[in-house]
Structure 1
């Protein structure tokens, strides 16, 4: 008789960490959300402490054992540190695989980039089911995409496919990743929009609040228009190159898609030979966590590289 088992999913975000145990169908059994502490080591230590509490609760209530752990995290994870993850102090130097394997001895641990994990969740249970190829676009504090083709997440040679935050804005750009600059993200990312609104207009609003205000305030909409046109311009080039069947928009800014989608649709319909369907993500808020759970359940199809 097969022993009852469950998996653990952990989503390490720049401001919040979400953790949950889940059964074989992906149904969450126990869950916790905690703020990401400013120091990377302390943040992971706190997350592991909460993870073991969830594991103990699940074992007791369901009389089952932990089978596998899936982790969605910022950047590209290596044994020596995490690349392309500048938002939390010390994350670059974090030896995440070593910490996780020590915390869960004898349990397989699978680590993936958070955006690629979110795409996996959408492919398994959400808006990318049956799409080949399908494109997931994360619009939030960070900007990135993930491409699914032939049922798999495309990784790239170094696990860095989809890191469009580093796209130059024009042929005249000089500074880029070698200078710790992410030109596109520093133009259309949520944190960049918030900072520019504060510096240029004196507004203390987050990007989501600004987009919501734009629905009723023409002056805000006019201020945002160049930013949204830049985003549309960049994504249109990507869609022309990849020819996806569907583009799924996720991340925190997708909750205000009513403002963003008209610009995207106009650009896609004008320039893409075969415009794809454009929809919001099924997992509006828990894509990373559900991706970590999907990763743990589909261990043989690990999205390693992030």
Structure 2
């Protein structure tokens, strides 16, 4: 299941109005229907109908209270009545997080991410879709038990994948880092494994959504989020809106050819030579240093050695930042983003990566287009994609009544 309503359609207007009412109740705590109408600008009759519908769905409840010596009817969110799950798959890991639809952080404009229970597990590099989803299902049972809530209260899940995919069908594209998932309509498989409605999206897009709502892109109208891990992807915020492209595959910057003229450049998973991902993925970074560090290092090992002054590690991280900055230059010349947020495993390198990235960006982009652009690490660190999955689950599940 991966359907979405058009913003201008009657269903889109209905969903937007329901979201406004839910956000107002989350922010105000226990407003009256008159206060909801005043805050949202909706007609009192519209608010009454929405409160009734969301009450029937078990999300809202109305009760009498005495305030200032008079009796009023206040509207509240029903705690524990609706839970959502976010699932973030990587090449070698899966994260599962659980949150309450009634969490105030689910409201648009809230500054803090939601309180959630989260677990992480390693996966085999060649895991298939059924093995991965079976692991995620077991982890979800674990996180539900840890949170002490009812499994029946789960209303839906959003899955993030490091792969291009068609948002209309949820089918995974061929150039992702999960070969065992290619061509699979993942949303339907998730529903089969978890028994709840589900949606699927690109992990970099979800990371962008989380950073826009609660992290380093909050309040930024034009910005980029880069996920530098086993795969390399980007998400874009343009004029305050998350940009997905016409088919949902925008942002695959890892497959930009940075050296297309070199006939001996490394062959990428997508079949082309010289893609950015062949130069800056975590696999490439750690492989270059393995002979010098006496064994296969992790990214954390590389960063630690670089911080200690290890010259080869510092050089590899600097070159990585340079390649990313050079690849971003054309995009920045066209879009002029005000902030570039770097996430994924390589973000832990901090200025060892960001300083050469920014220098290469300024050297290659049109003069002036990067003057006001800042380059920062992700505010939500490695949790951005799974929090983005929760953000999308908040939006989708709260409106399914």
How high is the TM-score relative to the length of structure 1?
0.85
Segment of structure 1 superposing worse, 11-20 or 29-38:
29-38
Counterpart check, 1:39 vs 2:127: yes
Distance 1:248 1:94 in 2: 30
Distance 2:123 2:273 in 1: 23
**CA offset digits 1:227-285 (Å, max 9, x no partner):** 43222211222222211111111111111112012212223344441420111111112
**CA offset digits 1:107-128 (Å, max 9, x no partner):** 4322110010000000011110
Counterpart check, 1:295 vs 2:392: yes
Aligned partners of 2:175 and 2:270 also within 8 Å? no
- How far off is 1:194 after superposition? 1.5
Specify the alignment match of 1:264 in structure 2. Answer: 357
Segment of structure 1 superposing worse, 277-286 or 202-211:
202-211
Distance 1:247 1:280 in 2: 8
Distance 1:287 1:95 in 2: 24
Specify the alignment match of 1:95 in structure 2. Answer: 185
Distance 2:326 2:255 in 1: 15
How high is the TM-score relative to the length of structure 2?
0.67
Please give the root-mean-square deviation of Cα atoms over the aligned residues, in Å: 2.9
Q: How does 1:1-306 map to 2 (within 5 A)?
A: 1=55, 2=60, 3=78, 4-23=81-100, 24=103, 25=105, 27-37=114-124, 38-40=126-128, 41-55=130-144, 58=147, 61=149, 65-78=153-166, 79=169, 81-84=171-174, 86-105=176-195, 107-173=196-262, 179=271, 183-198=275-290, 204-215=296-307, 216-222=309-315, 224-270=317-363, 271=365, 272-275=367-370, 276-299=373-396
**CA offset digits 1:142-173 (Å, max 9, x no partner):** 21111012333211233221111111122414
Larger Rg over CA atoms: 2
Aligned partners of 1:85 and 1:91 also within 8 Å? no
- How far off is 1:292 after superposition? 0.6
- How far off is 1:176 after superposition? 5.8
Distance 2:346 2:270 in 1: 28
Seen in structure 2, the aligned counterparts of structure 1 residues 64 and 108 have a Cα distance that, compared at 3 Å, is closer
- How far off is 1:294 after superposition? 0.6
SS in 1 for 2:381: coil
Aligned partners of 2:253 and 2:276 also within 8 Å? yes
- How far off is 1:104 after superposition? 4.4
Aligned partners of 2:85 and 2:390 also within 8 Å? yes
Distance 2:90 2:138 in 1: 17
**Higher relative contact order, chain-length normalized (CA < 8 Å, sep 6+):** 1
Distance 1:252 1:265 in 2: 18
Aligned partners of 2:259 and 2:275 also within 8 Å? no
- How far off is 1:11 after superposition? 0.9
SS in 2 for 1:71: strand
Aligned residues: 300
